[in-house]
């Protein structure tokens, strides 16, 4: 169950591909990812990705701004979690599947999650 919660937190749905100013396609993808994050992910993972919402705390969402959490995120596993959803060991839904999103939209969410990584040094 702990593994499922960790995976759910890691793939809590992210949303932006780094947009280059000269590439309108990337800008559209980034906007779509941000919109998808806000609509589908932020209610559990928080707008800032820290997982400190009421639902996020209940589900054990991890802090996506933490470099250690980011290091554990594997894109292929994140893609699968977003496409298929996540369940706890006892069968409870931790994250619904996002089967209405295209592959590119899911990849955009994963890129968005990576963009949440803090560049600030860790405090002791």
Instruction: Output the furthest CA–CA distance in the chain (Å, rounded).
Output: 48
pLDDT tens figures, 66-109: 999 999 999 999 999 999 999 989 999 999 999 899 999 999 99
Q: Provide the percentage of residues in the chain whose pLDDT is more than 70.
A: 71
Does this model's pTM top 0.75?
no
Over 90: is that where the pLDDT of 115 sits?
yes
| Interacting residues of 94 by C-beta distance below 8 A, sequence separation 6+ | 4, 5, 8, 59, 85, 86, 87, 88
Distance CA 48, CA 116 (A): 7
Give which of 7, 124, 116, 5 is closest to 72, Cα–Cα: 7
Phi, psi of 85 (to 5 degrees): 85, 175
Q: What rounded mean pLDDT belongs to the chain?
A: 80
The partner residues of 87 in beta bridges, in order of sequence, read 93
| 39 DSSP 8-state letter | I
Domain definitions of the chain by residue range: 2-115
Do 14 and 116 contact (CB within 8 A), yes or no?
A: yes
Q: How confident is the model at residue 33 (pLDDT cuts 50, 70, 90)?
A: confident
Class of residue 22 by CB neighbours under 10 A (exposed 0-12, middle 13-18, buried 19+): exposed
Of 1.10.760, 3.30.2010, 2.40.50, 1.10.3470, the CATH number of 2-115 is 1.10.760
What is the pLDDT averaged over residues 19-34?
Answer: 57
pLDDT tens figures, 54-69: 999 999 999 999 999 9
Encoding tokens for residue 41?
């992910």
Residue 32, pLDDT score: 85
């Amino acid at each position: 169950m702990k593994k499922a919660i960790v995976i759910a937190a890691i793939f809590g749905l992210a949303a932006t591909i780094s947009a280059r100013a000269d590439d309108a396609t990337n800008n559209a993808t980034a906007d779509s990812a941000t919109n998808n994050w806000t609509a589908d992910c932020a209610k559990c993972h928080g707008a800032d990705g820290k997982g400190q919402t009421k639902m996020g705390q209940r589900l054990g969402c991890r802090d996506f701004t933490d470099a250690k959490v980011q290091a554990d995120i594997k894109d292929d596993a994140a893609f699968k979690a977003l496409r298929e959803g996540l369940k706890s060991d006892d069968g409870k839904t931790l994250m619904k599947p996002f089967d209405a999103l295209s592959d590119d939209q899911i990849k955009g969410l994963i890129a968005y999650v990576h963009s949440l990584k803090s560049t600030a040094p860790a405090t002791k």
